[in-house]
């Protein structure tokens, strides 16, 4: 197998690993939001700190990771696989979410991932790190507003939700930037 074929195989493998991890963030996040946190409110989310004095529902980091992984799936497997993964993720969310959060989780996942897709797609070729960060920010705002409104009837944790997801997008953008810099040095 030549070097190009080897790279294609590893990209496909990395793409499918990203796809599997992306889909797994959905049930993990749906479970975490009502079971894991420093504080669990009655009939509300479990909370974690995302900044001093700023709390957010605990699934925030998994939701932010999902936005970054969705970008990886698109980058490694293409638009069709990404749209299939978004549809599968929404379906899994509807099946596995706690009854109290099923509508918010499903609708928020579907629309936030499509918003992320819409921002990331035109930017990814020229500005890949910025595309991850900006698309993650847009996706997190859409996800947070829809999820909190539908699942808990309140936008009390909107700032914390967006901030927590932004940390994950920023981390994803930094990793991509460093990876590209290393490739340039080696390459």
Residues contacting 134, CB < 8 A, separation 6+: 119, 120, 123
**Count of CA atoms in the C-beta half-sphere (13 A) of 164:** 26
Whole-number pLDDT of residue 115: 94
| Spatial separation of the C-alpha atoms in residues 11 and 16, rounded to whole Å | 9
- Asked if pLDDT for residue 159 goes beyond 90, the answer is yes
Residue 169, SS3 per DSSP:
helix
Is residue 71 within 8 Å of 56, Cβ to Cβ? no
Residues contacting 142, CB < 8 A, separation 6+: 108, 111, 112, 115
Which domains, ranges and CATH numbers included, belong to the chain? 3-186 (1.10.1760)
Instruction: Among 8-17, 52-61, 114-123, 166-175, name the one with the lowest average pLDDT.
Output: 8-17
Which is higher by pLDDT, 148 or 5? 148
- Asked if pLDDT for residue 9 goes beyond 80, the answer is no
40-74 residue pLDDT tens: 988 788 999 999 999 999 999 898 888 889 888 99
pTM for this model (two decimals): 0.81
Whole-number pLDDT of residue 42: 84
The mean of the pLDDT values for the chain is 86
User: SS3 sequence, 17-83?
Assistant: HHHHHHHHHHHHHHHHHHHCCCEECCCCCEEEEEECCEEEECCHHHHHHHHHHHHHHHHHHCHHHHH
User: How many Å from the N-terminal Cα to the C-terminal Cα in the chain?
Assistant: 20
98-118 residue pLDDT tens: 777 888 888 888 999 899 999
123-134 residue pLDDT tens: 999 998 899 889
């Amino acid at each position: 197998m030549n070097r190009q074929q080897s790279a294609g195989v590893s990209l496909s493998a990395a793409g499918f690993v990203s796809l599997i991890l992306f889909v797994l963030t959905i049930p993990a996040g749906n479970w975490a939001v009502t079971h894991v946190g420093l504080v669990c409110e009655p009939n509300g989310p479990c909370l974690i700190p995302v900044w001093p004095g700023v709390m957010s529902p605990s699934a925030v980091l998994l939701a932010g990771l999902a936005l970054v992984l969705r970008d990886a799936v698109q980058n490694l497997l293409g638009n069709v696989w990404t749209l299939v993964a978004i549809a599968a993720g929404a379906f899994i969310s509807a099946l596995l979410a706690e009854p109290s959060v099923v509508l918010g989780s499903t609708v928020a996942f579907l629309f936030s991932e499509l918003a992320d897709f819409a921002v990331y797609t035109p930017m990814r070729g020229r500005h890949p790190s910025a595309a991850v960060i900006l698309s993650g920010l847009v996706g997190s705002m859409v996800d947070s507003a829809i999820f909190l409104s539908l699942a808990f009837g309140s936008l009390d944790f909107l700032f914390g939700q967006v901030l927590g997801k932004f940390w994950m997008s920023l981390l994803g953008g930094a990793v991509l930037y460093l990876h590209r810099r290393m490739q340039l040095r080696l390459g």
